[in-house]
């Protein structure tokens, strides 16, 4: 069964790295009403930590120098919080598992 996947990412260059399997979320308000299995979050966006939804698997990413932010994301409810470079390196593999 294909998993439903979404991403809350403001940066247009980062958005372009997601393919058609990933729905782009444009508003923090929309995060709570999402019906997805997997959610990607750009943790550098203002107030994103306060709006992490419960339910889907959540993978966040931020610049590698933001170690405190990455740790805070785990405490706030992210299942994983990765440095940005590692996240985008792993993204194709993560998305491949969504097709199963």
Question: How far is Cα 81 from Cα 13, in angstroms, rounded to an integer?
Answer: 20
Question: How far is Cα 56 from Cα 50, in angstroms, rounded to an integer?
Answer: 16
What band does 2 get if pLDDT is binned at 50, 70 and 90? confident
83 has pLDDT over 70: yes
pLDDT one-digit tens code per residue, 4-21: 999 999 888 999 999 999
Q: Which residues contact 35 (CB under 8 A, 6 or more apart)?
A: 4
What band does 32 get if pLDDT is binned at 50, 70 and 90? confident
pLDDT one-digit tens code per residue, 35-65: 999 999 999 988 999 999 988 999 999 999 9
100 has pLDDT over 70: no
What's the first-to-final CA gap in the chain, in angstroms?
6
């Amino acid at each position: 069964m294909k998993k439903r996947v979404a991403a809350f990412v403001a940066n247009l260059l980062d958005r372009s790295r997601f393919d058609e399997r990933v729905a782009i979320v444009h508003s923090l308000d929309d995060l709570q009403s999402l019906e997805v299995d997997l959610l990607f979050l750009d943790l550098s966006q203002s107030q994103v930590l306060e709006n992490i939804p419960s339910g889907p698997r959540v993978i966040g990413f931020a610049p590698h120098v933001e170690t405190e932010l990455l740790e805070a994301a785990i405490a706030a409810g992210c299942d994983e919080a990765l440095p940005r470079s590692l996240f985008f390196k792993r993204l194709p593999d993560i998305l491949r598992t969504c097709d199963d």
